[in-house]
Amino acid sequence: MIIVSKVMDAGARERALQVVAGVYWQEKNWIKSVEQEIPVDISTHDRTSWFLASVNDHPAGVLRLFYDPPLELPPECQATFKKGFDPQQLLSAGRYVEIGRFMILPEYRKKIFVALRLMGAAVREVVERNYTHFITDVFEGEPHSPLKFHTRILGFEVIGHHLYGELNCSLTRIILTLDILKAYQRLKTQQNRIARSLTEGIRGPLEDKLAGMSAD
């Protein structure tokens, strides 16, 4: 059984940190400190949300949301964007939430519904908060990159690249964005378990938002 819950207390934080330690510290060596990844007073942080996926009560994956991230990358990141894309478009496209720290322990990576349930919880959270878009980056060429999951299943679009970031990794970062309503319109025509998992519990609010767009 896969259960996803929002990290709100010390117990949930410790379980989430087990995943962080297993993936970002021990396996990837991308961070210097596990404890600093998730704030001790997590319930008071309005700018971030952490979600924990458990499989049969064992920690399996985590995902972090960061609300209203800065959309202009500093020059030292050396960002480039795909031909014809103006990064200024991001500033007027909608309200953005950054997906970061999206990781699954090795023994659960073949269970696609761990990732799907984490993303479903993320979608519900941002829709309830009236955000409209996701933005994230993934490492180019990284063996366990969620790039195909993001683009083929969820519908993220690649808009550019940057060379440097906060994690200790020399690989180029691929920048991706997702218009949530646009993705929902595509998913709802598929009528499969993946679509149902991602939109469970929020189809009504999403349909209301689509109706509001049509009325405008």
Domains in the chain, number: 1
- Containing structural domain, residue 131: 65-215
What's the pLDDT band for 116 if we cut at 50, 70, 90? very high
Q: Is residue 99 part of a domain?
A: yes
Q: How far apart are CA 47 and CA 68, in angstroms?
A: 8
- pTM, 2 dp: 0.91
Statement: residue 216 has pLDDT above 70 = no
CATH, residue 110: 3.40.630
pLDDT tens readout for residues 23-32: 999 999 999 9
Report which of 46, 43, 60 is spatially closest to residue 107, judged by C-alpha positions. 60
Q: Is residue 26 part of a domain?
A: no
pLDDT at 197: 81
Percent with pLDDT over 70 in the chain = 98
Q: How far apart are CA 158 and CA 177, in angstroms?
A: 7
Statement: residue 59 has pLDDT above 80 = yes
Distance, first Cα to last Cα, the chain: 42
Q: Is residue 60 part of a domain?
A: no
Q: Is residue 11 part of a domain?
A: no
The Cα angle at residue 154 between residues 160 and 110, in degrees rounded to 5: 110
Q: How far apart are CA 36 and CA 31, in angstroms?
A: 10
pLDDT at 215: 59
pLDDT tens readout for residues 65-112: 999 999 888 888 899 999 988 888 888 889 999 999 999 999 999 988
Q: Is residue 40 part of a domain?
A: no
Q: How far apart are CA 159 and CA 181, in angstroms?
A: 18
Q: How far apart are CA 64 and CA 71, in angstroms?
A: 17
